[in-house]
Structure 1
Amino acid sequence: MTAATGVPATLDGRAVHVKVPATSANLGPGFDTLGLALSVYDELEVRVRQEPGASVEVHGIGAGDVPTDESNLVVRAIAHAFSRVGQPMPGLDLVAHNVIPHGRGMGSSGAAIVAGIMAAKGLLEGIVEFDADALLRLATELEGHPDNVAPAIFGGLTIAWVTPEGPAHKKLNVHRGVSPAVFVPEHTMSTQLARSLQPTSVPHEDAIFNVSRSALLIAALIQSPELLHAATEDRLHQSYRASAMPETDRLIRVLRDCGLAAVVSGAGPSVLVLGSDPAQRLLAADLVARHAETPWQALLLAVDFKGATVVPHPADALV
């Protein structure tokens, strides 16, 4: 990212529209590495104002619950991006239209961070240029790991890893037959709690098992969807978290026993099913409806291939 030289351009009157997809991380064996962008979107309008500070209007998920001032995660992400490139933070009005469920393993916090980073990119266009590496680095600095923010930024299937120079990623296109569905319960799950249930070490054979399944999963997602059931087996994290999500664990067992590639979505408690064709999603929805003991929302989705977008927006159009 490079700052423009000379007199800084004014931000007065600038406004942008941001759209960010939900994500599902891990995908079974790809713990903290693999992520998939899904066709559920949070949208954000941001307008520069004369008064300092920030105000946030929230519609949909989180309305009445999430902060509406400078402590809002989106605002903090914008401020982080401005600070990292040496630009003063302007006063902002934000309108958030949230659809991604919170605390359900669909990357809501990562989406909020990416929304803020992309808003900063759009507001600073012509003043500072953010390349792909900069976007991923800024988002990862706030999120702590790149497995959710990478697919949110770039779309598709992403492999993310960390190097001494910072986070890196590779985006892959998913086979058109892959048909994802997410089943979302009413209860939430803390990512911090889920991570606390992980052991500090695992048996050597379990590590080898997951390496083989992760490699197979890449092949299944981009070339051979018929291998998804075998490719989504995991021994590194899901069994350790099962006690904290008993109904999630039970439904995954029901779905997998019927040949479906079901896994915990992110840290849970949602269930992700990677169907090899659309009919498998319908079978999964029927099984969840028949076997769930509490209400679960079925989201029959597509893979988002575009990732986050930001476009200039008329300032008087924020509603």
Structure 2
Amino acid sequence: MTASWASAPVLVRAPATSANLGPGFDSLGLALTLYDEVEVAVTGGGLAIEVEGEGAEVADRGERHLIVSVLGRAFDMLNGLGGADLGRPPGLRLRCVNRIPHSRGLGSSSAAIVAGIVAARHLHPEGHRLDDAAALRLATEIEGHPDNVAPCLAGGLTIAWTGAQGPRSVRLDPKLGEVTALVPEQRLATERARGLLPETVPHGDAAANAGRAALLIAALSQGLGQDVLLEATEDRLHQDHRAPAMPESAELVARLRAKGVPAVISGAGPTVLVFTTAAQVDSMCAEVGNGWHIHPLNVAPQGACVRHGGSSVRP
């Protein structure tokens, strides 16, 4: 029997993610219960893209659309891994329902990248050859760093690093209740935020962050209280350097932390992630102020998955 593309559309649900979590720069990531949905179908020809919600303005990018580009790279990788070499599909139909805010530090690009990879290995007849390790490598190559793509693939809390074998990650199940994302209206490009980081940092700051990152893993794994989380989320490597690009977010983090609330910049910002419930955030209206969209969220226990009739299937 000749191998062929999947005949039915594939629907992938990919979670938002928050990276760094304060001291865990480029290494720690948390999957959150806010999802983008991506449906991909192989067609007889052409390319059709429909986008609802965030990113609707880029629906006309055609082959340059991020998910379309990722699909192509994933198909190429699968063809190169042996088995059926089908080239690329004759046509694609892509439909996205995007709920993750763009350019806000909640992993919208990682969700798109991971969704494309997961969809590709369900559409290609040899999709099983693209295992989780290979998926992480490809996603990291496209995104540039693994801290967001790792939790988007695996769910939960992840520790990601790059070694001799390429990017790798470890998944943990944090003992953490509700968290709250405070999302501003303004956007911030990750490239701009990274451009503000210094080439070197003082040894004392690096040592402090190493200790805090270790403490944060212990605090999240053991369900320690907010007093420990407040100390564990202290950062000296990146947040202060990025503050000029997002002064309102930096000021909000400082105000909340002064009140004893564990708050950090989510990823490259400008979203503020608070390790407390939305009800508790409401009680601090004076500190939060206006202009913030409050999203009460939980840790997503599962990473990007294929949806079939309302049920989720791990890729």
Q: Structure 1 vs Structure 2: percent identity of aligned residues?
A: 48
1:18 and 2:18 matched: no
In the TM superposition, what whole-angstrom CA distance separates every residue of 1:64-86 from its partner, at most 9, and x where no partner exists?
Answer: 34444111101111111011122
- Alpha-carbon offset, residue 201 of structure 1: 0.4
Tell me the residue number matched to 2:239. Answer: 238
1:243–1:267 CA distance, 2 compared to 1 (3 A):
same
2:270 aligned with 1:274, yes or no? no
Correspondence 1:64 to 2:60: no
Tell me the alpha carbon deviations over residues 106-154 of structure 1, each in whole angstroms, 9 at most, x when there is no partner.
0000110001001101112455532110110111110011000000010
TM-score (norm 1): 0.90
Distance 1:43 1:238 in 2: 31
1:192-214 deviations in whole A, cap 9, x for unaligned?
01001100000000000000000
C-alpha distance in 1 between matches for 2:245 and 2:105: 14
Q: Who is 1:305 aligned against?
A: 301
Report the CA distance between 1:291 and its aligned residue: 3.8
Structure 2 residue runs of 5 or longer lacking an equivalent are 80-84, 310-315
Whole-Å separation in 2 of the counterparts to 1:114 and 1:25 = 15
Query: 1:304 and 1:83, CA in 2 relative to 1: closer, same or farther beyond 3 A?
Result: same
Distance 1:241 1:159, change over 3 A: same
1:4 aligns with: none
Summarize the alignment of residues 112-131 of structure 1 with structure 2, pairs less than 5 Å apart: 112-126=112-126, 128-131=128-131
Q: Identify if the C-alpha distance between structure 1 residues 131 and 247 changes in structure 2 by more than 3 Å, giving closer, same or farther.
A: same
Q: Which residue of 1 is the match for residue 82 of structure 2? A: none
What one-letter code is carried by the residue in structure 2 that aligns with 1:30?
A: G
Question: Which residue pairs with 1:136 in the alignment?
Answer: 136
Tell me if 1:196 matches 2:195: yes
Q: Give runs of aligned pairs for residues 155-174 of structure 1, distance below 5 A.
A: 155-174=155-174
Give the 3 Å change call, closer, same or farther, for CA 127–43 of structure 1 in structure 2: closer
Alignment correspondent of 1:42: 36
Deviation at 1:293, TM superposition (A): 5.5
- In structure 1, runs of 5+ residues without a counterpart are 1-6, 314-319
Q: Provide the alpha-carbon RMSD of the alignment.
A: 1.6
Offset of 1:19 from its aligned partner? 0.3
Q: Give structure 1 regions of 4+ aligned residues with deviation exceeding 4 angstroms.
A: 125-128
Deviations 1:154-207 (A, max 9, x none): 0000000001221000000010x4321100000001100100110000000000
Displacement of 1:294: 4.8
* CA distance in 2: counterparts of 1:311 and 1:291, whole angstroms: 40
Quick one: which of 277, 286, 291 aligns to 1:290?
Answer: 286
